[in-house]
Amino acid sequence: MSPSVRNIIAWILQALLAAMFIFSGGHKLMDLAGTTKMFESMGMPGWFAGLIGGAEVLGGIGLLVPRTVRLAAMGLIIIMIGAVYMHAAKIPGGLAKGVPAIVCLLLLVVVLVLRSRTEARAV
């Protein structure tokens, strides 16, 4: 794949994922009381809701900044692994309702691969 095509695909994915994470994290923060109740009902501490919401917003912004894309993608991958696990283990409906989380996880991995340093793979 040529570097320009790789760059275009990466930017499209980054923009879509950024919008999704900024919206999702913002929604969690705007309804923090409801999100806290939901997190507590799944056995997590209430403060974790604000942490995840804030991390999603910051990660979404980070996907739009060239210097922070890889770090943001790695952080969001960790969050999405947790989301997939929670869908599989604790959320009613199981992985069937966790398909968006799985898709986001896979797309974040694609962004990370597309934005990986070419020098490391040239060896």
Contacts of 16 by beta carbon, 8 Å cutoff, 6+ apart:
107
Q: In the chain, what are the domain boundaries? A: 3-115
Contacts of 111 by beta carbon, 8 Å cutoff, 6+ apart:
10, 13, 14, 17, 63, 69, 73
Supply the pLDDT for residue 78.
97
Supply the pLDDT for residue 118.
56
Q: Which one, of 68, 82, 76, 60, lies nearest residue 109 by Cα?
A: 76
Report pLDDT digits (tens) over 34-79: 999 999 999 999 999 999 999 999 999 999 999 999 999 999 999 9
Supply the pLDDT for residue 69.
97
pTM of the model: 0.90
Supply the pLDDT for residue 99.
92
Report pLDDT digits (tens) over 15-39: 999 999 999 999 999 999 999 999 9
Supply the pLDDT for residue 30.
97
Please provide the average confidence, as pLDDT, over all residues in the chain: 92
